[in-house]
Structure 1
Amino acid sequence: MRVRMAIRLATQNEAMSDLERINAIYWALSTTLIHRVPGAVVELGCNAGYTSVWLARIVQDFAPERELHLFDSFQGLPDLGTHDAYLRKGDCQASLDDVKANFATWDLPLPIVHPGWFEQTLPDGCPPQVCFAYLDGDFHQSIKTSLEHVYPRLAPGGVILVDDYCDLDANPRAWDGLPGVKRACDDYFGPGAPQLEVLGGVGDLSMALIRKPIDER
């Protein structure tokens, strides 16, 4: 793992990420690529692209032939739903130029970027097969829409990481600021879904790993 890059990205983006999240992404994505699970890599909610360059670095190191797709409204967050909290409409806004600048800083090839709301871009823009997805949509409807389009395309053995997923029964240290994220996963899979695993750490890591069973098509 490129530890110096990980530390630098965690420092630059400390309001939205930390080293534990970056480590989780590394192990989940690199293992998926090492085991040659077929499909593209996607990120839903890329913001300014700090996590995106980390995904791109891992792809370049392990499987440079794989496509990386980024999805973001570049208008900030949408309206809150009844299950959402903490953030507000328009928060977390970044631009496509921010993404391009980050990729230029790290001398990485620009991925395929899909600007617009998920419900507009995912139906045609989501690759037909996905090996790994990072979902960082913050709100209930954004995560639900993401799962509806990504999970059916996820290859058997593929992985989805859902940021801000908080289950305090499983991980009492987790940050619980965005309750709509877990509710969206429960709505899609049902509570206690066997393919969903809560991750933990020494800090307030709030994240779930969803692995598609090998025998599920």
Structure 2
Amino acid sequence: MVLLRQLPESATEEGSFWPIDGHTMVGWKRLENVQACVETILAEGIEGDLLEAGVWRGGVAIFMKALLYAYGEDMRRVIVADSFAGFPNPRLEDREDRHWTVKNSAAEAFMSVSEEEVRDNFSRYGLLDDKVVFLKGFFHETLPNAPIEKLALLRADADMYRSTMDILESLYDKLSPGGFCIIDDYAMSSCKAAVDEFRKRRKISEPLMVIDWTGRYWRKGQT
């Protein structure tokens, strides 16, 4: 990743940079994927809320809310899950996270965004209402008992092995048949290990589709 103000077109397509002023690090391809998934959910009536775990400045979650607003959907919630305080400490038992280098670094400081800032960003677009729900805390603390019945879209942007696994273990069973599971950080070995392990253990046979250099997704099978 690079930190830039003036970007080549390929960087904005792929989301391969850390924007100084932007509300998301996600490029056009991953945003288009979110839009396609949300539009399919609405067109087919897939039940459930939309959730992003790991939101940074909130750009993708705001985009989800904007799509619901544009289509006149006012019953679904957009659930915004984040520690709003950076990454958890790596666990010694998680081999994939032992050499995690972002913790307590300038990079982590850049990526740690407060809940208040994310709320303000929703408000800037006129999209903060009672259907935007914030879950503040590390995923292993907030997600297992979160007040969520069904999800139509689950988007994981957690970087670390353990954080990604916490998301999938806590929420995948709440994803409706036909719903979408989106992984933002598959290019990172820690995230890839968690996703591959979870899919293998759960015998998930739906193909893992490529979005861009790091984004992947699959659609949960109809049962």
Does the alignment reach a TM-score above 0.5?
yes
What is the one-letter code of the residue matched to 2:116? D
What's the secondary structure of 1:125's corresponding residue? Answer: coil
Could you say which residue in structure 2 is the equivalent of 1:116?
A: 137
Could you say which residue in structure 2 is the equivalent of 1:199?
A: 210
CA distance in 2: counterparts of 1:17 and 1:25, whole angstroms: 10
TM-score (norm 1): 0.81
Q: Is the 8 A contact 1:126 1:150 kept in 2?
A: no
TM-score (norm 2): 0.79
Could you say which residue in structure 1 is the equivalent of 2:119?
A: 100
Per-residue displacement from partner, 1:128-157 (whole Å, max 9, x unpaired)? Answer: 111101110111001101001111111110
What is the one-letter code of the residue matched to 1:88? V
CA distance in 2: counterparts of 1:61 and 1:194, whole angstroms: 33
What is the one-letter code of the residue matched to 2:167? S
Q: 1:179 to 1:117 in 2, by over 3 A?
A: same
Per-residue displacement from partner, 1:10-53 (whole Å, max 9, x unpaired)? Answer: 77538722111111111112211221100111110112211111
* CA-CA distance at 1:59 after TM superposition: 1.8
1:37-48 alignment runs, 5 A limit: 37-48=46-57
Candidates 151, 155, 167, aligned match of 1:130 = 151
Percent of paired sites with the same residue = 23
CA-based RMSD of the aligned residues comes to: 2.2
Point out the more displaced range, 11-20 or 179-188.
Answer: 11-20
CA distance in 2: counterparts of 1:128 and 1:34, whole angstroms: 21
What's the secondary structure of 1:124's corresponding residue? Answer: coil
What's the secondary structure of 2:145's corresponding residue? Answer: helix
What's the secondary structure of 1:60's corresponding residue? Answer: helix
* CA-CA distance at 1:210 after TM superposition: 2.1
Q: 1:126 to 1:82 in 2, by over 3 A?
A: farther
Residue 184 (structure 1) aligned with residue 198 (structure 2): no
* CA-CA distance at 1:123 after TM superposition: 1.6
CA distance in 1: counterparts of 2:147 and 2:86, whole angstroms: 20
CA distance in 2: counterparts of 1:35 and 1:198, whole angstroms: 20
Could you say which residue in structure 1 is the equivalent of 2:75?
A: 65
Could you say which residue in structure 2 is the equivalent of 1:210?
A: 218
What's the secondary structure of 1:161's corresponding residue? Answer: strand
CA distance in 2: counterparts of 1:26 and 1:193, whole angstroms: 24
CA distance in 2: counterparts of 1:88 and 1:190, whole angstroms: 28
Q: Is the 8 A contact 1:39 1:130 kept in 2?
A: yes
Q: 1:156 to 1:15 in 2, by over 3 A?
A: closer
Point out the more displaced range, 49-58 or 83-92.
Answer: 83-92
CA distance in 1: counterparts of 2:207 and 2:189, whole angstroms: 16
CA distance in 2: counterparts of 1:23 and 1:151, whole angstroms: 22
Could you say which residue in structure 1 is the equivalent of 2:8?
A: none
CA distance in 1: counterparts of 2:33 and 2:164, whole angstroms: 19
CA distance in 2: counterparts of 1:129 and 1:14, whole angstroms: 27
Q: 1:87 to 1:22 in 2, by over 3 A?
A: farther
Point out the more displaced range, 185-194 or 103-112.
Answer: 185-194
What is the one-letter code of the residue matched to 1:83? E
Point out the more displaced range, 114-123 or 83-92.
Answer: 83-92
